[in-house]
Amino acid sequence: NAGVTQTPKFRILKIGQSMTLQCTQDMNHNYMYWYRQDPGMGLKLIYYSVGAGITDKGEVPNGYNVSRSTTEDFPLRLELAAPSQTSVYFCASSPRSGRPADTQYFGPGTRLTVL
């Protein structure tokens, strides 16, 4: 299993441009998440999905959109990029069983700079 994969690894955007961050998991997990991580600020949840066709907002959804058409893929769309969206973006997935041993599995991250 490749686990959670993210593309691209790095990207520089100009203010006002748009882009899609790709996330794919091959573990057949129901739940998928998008986080952003700013220096010294931990992980903040942007959007999450409990299954194909179902998405919901997290703590910091403004400026982002998501879709979940398949179990495997959960792309994050940035419209009209702003410098405040400069961050490292992590995608994660987890199973639905709710057992204590379950966890979120993270991808390697996408480093985005908006200039």
Partner 1 sequence: QKEVEQDPGPLSVPEGAIVSLNCTYSNSAFQYFMWYRQYSRKGPELLMYTYSSGNKEDGRFTAQVDKSSKYISLFIRDSQPSDSATYLCAMSPQGAQKLVFGQGTRLTINP
Residue span binding partner 1 (CB under 8 A) among the ranges 19-27, 62-70, 71-79, 99-107: 99-107
- In the bound state with partner 1, the residue whose beta carbon lies nearer, of 31 and 61, is 31
Q: Is residue 103 within the footprint of partner 1 (CB under 8 A)?
A: yes
The span from the first CA to the last CA of the chain, in angstroms, equals 36
Q: Is residue 97 within the footprint of partner 1 (CB under 8 A)?
A: yes
- In the bound state with partner 1, the residue whose beta carbon lies nearer, of 14 and 99, is 99
Residues from 57 through 86 that contact partner 1 (CB under 8 A): none
E strand map for the chain: 4-7, 10-13, 19-25, 31-37, 43-51, 54-57, 64-66, 76-78, 87-94, 105-106, 110-114
Place of tokens 């996408």: 110
Q: Is residue 14 within the footprint of partner 1 (CB under 8 A)?
A: no
Which has the closest alpha carbon to 57: 42, 45, 67?
A: 45
Residues found near partner 1 in the complex (CB under 8 A): 4, 31, 40-45, 48, 50, 90, 92, 94-104, 106-109
